[in-house]
Amino acid sequence: MKTKILALAFIASLLSFTASHSQQYAFRVLVNKGKNEVKAGETWQAIKVGTNLKATDELRVTENAYMGLVHATGKPLEVKKAGKYKVADLATKVSGGSSVVNKYTDFIISSNTTKKNNLAATGAVDRGTDFLLHMPLPAQQPHIYGEKIILSWEEDKTASPYIVSFRSLFEDELAKIETEESQLTVDLTASTLANEDNIVVQVYSKANPAKKSRTYNLRRLSKADRERLGNALNQISQPLNEETALNKLLLASFFEENNLLIDAATAHLEAIELAPDVPAFQEGFNAFLLRNGLKASPKK
């Protein structure tokens, strides 16, 4: 009798696993632009962020659309060309994924789902300066990992062109860069910056220097912390090795989780540059800024 019970339990377990396995998704929709649809069975339905696509499903992608998918193995895939696609065929195009990537996929989908309820209630207070840089305050002791970062601030066309000033903690001037835009790419390996572990940044109007931001800090990670972060980053580096907007979005989530908000902002801005016609990437950046208090909340 005991043997029979164990056999029945094994069969039930096997059937449960088979049913569960058959219901697993092939892809999850991380970004969607356009009136794209999925056919599950006989019915076409609109695709939303967070939709699970099974191998038996079919996609209908419209003109000028964009879909950012992440395979169950953790490999991202962009779909830009209009047409019909069998999900099973798309799955054959991906390889070299990492299950760790799914952690950041979940975070992005969760953030997208809750942003409408939370954005109006979160974000930074008005800091009373002329230019609000999208950076943590010095008291938060922000650090940076990358050697190339993008600084951005709230645009004020009446103040352009801007001057971005870099100084040491001893007030020595390291560099001064003029820009017409409300953002600036900074190469931290440049000879004037490479040997500084803590750089003071400030933005002001060229025409009216009194119109300026408060000061912010760029602090490099210690050697030990950089090594630790590098090891963690290596776990997702292979599936995210292509220069795509979708990969940059996932990379931004990695940096945000590790409280490297300047690196996260850089990855968001790189995603926008790679796909300027996909509003979701700009929306994702705005949500990130508000979520972390790097931008003033919308006025009600």
Residues 70, 102 contacting (CB under 8 angstroms): yes
Contacts of residues 109-114 at CB distance under 8 Å and 24 or more positions apart, as own/partner, are 109/28, 109/30, 109/49, 109/50, 111/284, 111/287, 111/291, 112/49, 112/50, 112/284, 112/287, 113/49, 113/50
**pLDDT computed for residue 110 by the predictor:** 86
- Are residues 106 and 93 both part of a single domain? no
Low-confidence ranges of the chain (pLDDT < 50): 2-23, 116-126
| Same-domain pairing of 285 and 174 | yes
State the pLDDT at residue 97. Answer: 86
Same domain, 163 and 173: yes
- Quote the longest CA-to-CA distance of the chain: 91
Tokens of 13: 């377990």
Residue 140 is predicted with a pLDDT of 83
Burial of 167 per CB tally in 10 Å (0-12, 13-18, 19+): middle
Residues 45, 147: one domain? Answer: no
Nearest to 298 by CA among 59, 55, 125: 125
3-class SS of residue 108? helix
pLDDT at 15: 40
- Tell me how many domains the chain contains: 2
Question: Is 192 part of a structural domain of the chain?
Answer: yes
Residues 93 and 107 occupy one common structural domain: no
The answer as to whether 16 is a domain residue is no
Same domain, 26 and 154: no
Q: 150 and 191: one domain?
A: yes
Which segments of the chain does DSSP mark as H helices, in order? Answer: 2-22, 87-91, 101-118, 223-237, 245-257, 261-274, 279-291
Q: Is 151 exposed, middle or buried (0-12, 13-18, 19+ CB in 10 A)?
A: buried
In this predicted model, what pLDDT tens digit does every residue of 143-153 receive, in sequence order? 999 999 999 99
Shared domain check, 221 and 119: yes
Residue 110 belongs to domain spanning? 98-300
Which of 44, 45, 46 minimizes the C-alpha distance to 35? 46
End position of a domain, from candidates 64, 97, 130: 97
Contact 273, 293 (CB under 8 A): no
Look at residue 173 and give its three-state secondary structure. Answer: strand
Q: Are residues 86 and 162 in the same domain?
A: no
Condensed to tens digits (0 to 9), the pLDDT of residues 88-111 reads 999 999 988 889 999 999 989 888
pTM (predicted TM-score)? 0.87
pLDDT digits (tens, 9 = 90+) for 221-261: 999 999 999 999 999 999 999 999 999 999 999 999 999 99
Q: What is the pLDDT of residue 114?
A: 58
